[in-house]
Amino acid sequence: MNSYTRLNQEHIKILQQIFTQNRVLFGEAIAEEYGHDELSGMIAMPQAVVQPLSAAEVSQLLRFASEQQIAVTPRGQGTGLVGGCVPVCGGILLDMSKMNHILELDMDNLTLTVEPGDLLMDVAKFVEERQLFYPPDPGEKSASIGGNISTNAGGMRAVKYGVTRDYIRGLEVVLTNGTILNLSGKVAKNSSGYDLKDLIIGSEGTLAVVTKAILKLVPYPAETISLLIPFADLSAAISTVPLILQSRTNPVALEFFERETIMAAENFLGKRFPDHSAPAYLLVSFDGNSLAEIEHVYEAAAELCLKNGALDVLIADTTERKESIWSARSAFLEGIKAAAGEIDECDVVVPRKSVAEFMQFAHSLEAEYGVGMRGFGHAGDGNLHIYAMRENMQESDWQKGKKAVMEALYRRAEFYEGQVSGEHGIGWEKQDYLLERLGEAQISLMQAVKLVFDPSCILNPQKIFKMK
């Protein structure tokens, strides 16, 4: 395991030369939020925070940190859930939030070039005002594009449109030796050697720092309609999913959730969900260029669901109704967190047909370990979000209980040939499960790749896997 140089006054002076205008924070000026992310239990403060404005500044910093063997941890907005942006080895936190400009809209190539600190919600608004669409839609809209790229964020629209990786045409990245590289570009396809761009996407800031991204856009779909479909139980709901996907209705999103999750979101938001009378629900949405185009599609899907055990089909075709459903869906995580006090999360992805069985298994752990379990997720792509809830448990029971249920969940995911993370990444929290799932041979390959990019292991050390 590597050891890192602690910053001294000389180091701080050099940082102040690189980052003028008070863009170096140290000591008491470092806000407490820089020591954690949105969910993981890991807390560690950096010795200094720097806020670059350009790739050139990132390059100078990384060269200096490599020479001095100082740990550097990139941070977007800190909305991650697995401790990816937490500076577990101290050193320098690289806060990318000031590199937040939209640089170029290229209508001929349908691309948008952005800096990594741009927020997902700002990018979405910018393009939608111009009748364009950037489809990746993770639940947390205040996340940065750099964070989305580094975790290969998924989200609700993955069923039809895919995930962040599918919408990154090109990247500018800075290596730890200071080299600034442009990977791929505005081209729509590329078969030119190893795809380094795709390797950087999802690498959680362990290989290089993203300083610019060229996003792929598509025309904005003029109309969307959502169906909220209650079922008598989760198995009935999930067994309808393959039928919808086979039916040529091409849904954008296909989510599942249970009544208790809706109630938690209602309490959190102080607003009523359109319905919470049934034990389980599917939420399906469709988009297209006109209402006429999607009408026959959603009618066919509704009919299919009613034939296969749906209790009802509620159509959300007004802005208010869509807003009330989707804002509650976006608040599920916070609702569960507020109800439970403390939570731990499992973000496994399993083959779609195993989702209902997996959720039944998760609920069976409640009786076995005395830990409350809640879940919801992306039924259309098999990505579940399952939460162990602390509620009134004593600290030692909670620690023991959450470890036991997480181990059981990840073992079960392996049984279904699933993967440890569908979209949130591995970060600090989920490394043991990754090693167990992938085995030494795959982890050794990843360690070797890490050493090629970052021979001194200064960039986001101790994330995804430990180095030998």
Ligand X SMILES: Cc1cc2nc3c(=O)[nH]c(=O)nc-3n(C[C@H](O)[C@H](O)[C@H](O)COP(=O)(O)OP(=O)(O)OC[C@H]3O[C@@H](n4cnc5c(N)ncnc54)[C@H](O)[C@@H]3O)c2cc1C
Decide if residue 221 touches ligand X (CB under 6 A). Answer: no
Decide if residue 454 touches ligand X (CB under 6 A). Answer: no
* Contact yes or no for 462/82 (Cβ under 8 A): no
Could you tell me the smallest distance in angstroms from the CB atom of residue 171 to ligand X? 9
Residues 6 or more apart whose CB falls under 8 angstroms from that of 348 comprise 358, 383, 384, 386, 409, 410, 413, 418, 419, 420, 421, 422
Decide if residue 209 touches ligand X (CB under 6 A). Answer: yes
Binding mask 33-52 for ligand X (x = CB under 6 A): ----xx--------------
In this structure, the chain runs to a length of 468
Decide if residue 77 touches ligand X (CB under 6 A). Answer: yes
Exposed e or buried b for every residue in 321-343, given b needs 16+ CB within 10 A?
A: beebbbebbbbbbbbbbebbeeb
Could you tell me the smallest distance in angstroms from the CB atom of residue 15 to ligand X? 18
Closest CA to 14 of 53, 57, 55, 74: 57
Query: Which of 150, 419, 421, 456 touches ligand X by CB under 6 A?
Result: 150
Decide if residue 148 touches ligand X (CB under 6 A). Answer: yes
Could you tell me the smallest distance in angstroms from the CB atom of residue 37 to ligand X? 5
Q: Which part of the chain contacts ligand X (CB under 6 A), choosing from 146-154, 183-191, 265-273, 399-407?
A: 146-154
Decide if residue 334 touches ligand X (CB under 6 A). Answer: yes
Decide if residue 183 touches ligand X (CB under 6 A). Answer: no
Q: Which part of the chain contacts ligand X (CB under 6 A), choosing from 127-135, 136-144, 243-251, 315-323?
A: 136-144
Considering only residues 294 to 333 of the shown chain, the ones binding ligand X according to CB under 6 A are 333
Our CB check for ligand X shows the closer of 75 and 374 to be 75
Could you tell me the smallest distance in angstroms from the CB atom of residue 163 to ligand X? 8
* Contact yes or no for 251/304 (Cβ under 8 A): no
List 168's β-bridge partners, or say none.
215
Decide if residue 87 touches ligand X (CB under 6 A). Answer: no
Structure tokens at 372: 């409350």
Decide if residue 143 touches ligand X (CB under 6 A). Answer: yes
Could you tell me the smallest distance in angstroms from the CB atom of residue 302 to ligand X? 25
Could you tell me the smallest distance in angstroms from the CB atom of residue 285 to ligand X? 15
Could you tell me the smallest distance in angstroms from the CB atom of residue 385 to ligand X? 8
Q: Which whole-number Å values give the CA distances from 302 to 159, 228, 240, 296, in the listed order?
A: 18, 10, 11, 10
Could you tell me the smallest distance in angstroms from the CB atom of residue 367 to ligand X? 29
- With contacts defined by CB under 6 A, how many residues of the chain interact with ligand X? 38
Query: Which of 92, 210, 217, 405 touches ligand X by CB under 6 A?
Result: 210
**In degrees, to the nearest 5, what angle opens at C-alpha 365 toward C-alphas 364 and 371?**
130
Query: Which of 57, 118, 172, 204 touches ligand X by CB under 6 A?
Result: 204
Pairing of β 72-75 and β 92-95: parallel
Exposed e or buried b for every residue in 41-67, given b needs 16+ CB within 10 A?
A: ebebebbbbbbbbebebbbbbbbbbbe
Closest CA to 465 of 437, 442, 434: 434
Decide if residue 377 touches ligand X (CB under 6 A). Answer: no
Q: In what order do the strands lie in the sheet with 253-258?
A: 314-316, 223-231, 280-288, 253-258, 372-378, 383-389, 343-346
Closest CA to 235 of 313, 309, 286: 309
* Contact yes or no for 296/290 (Cβ under 8 A): no
Considering only residues 406 to 435 of the shown chain, the ones binding ligand X according to CB under 6 A are 423-424, 427
Query: Which of 90, 139, 230, 401 touches ligand X by CB under 6 A?
Result: 139
Decide if residue 79 touches ligand X (CB under 6 A). Answer: yes
Could you tell me the smallest distance in angstroms from the CB atom of residue 448 to ligand X? 20
Our CB check for ligand X shows the closer of 123 and 153 to be 153
Our CB check for ligand X shows the closer of 97 and 401 to be 97
**In degrees, to the nearest 5, what angle opens at C-alpha 339 toward C-alphas 334 and 342?**
80
Question: Is 76 strand, coil or helix?
Answer: coil
Which secondary-structure segment (H or E) carries 214?
Answer: strand 209-216
Binding site residues, ligand X, CB under 6 A: 37-38, 73-81, 84-85, 96, 116, 138-140, 143-144, 146-148, 150-151, 153-155, 204-205, 209-210, 333-334, 423-424, 427, 460
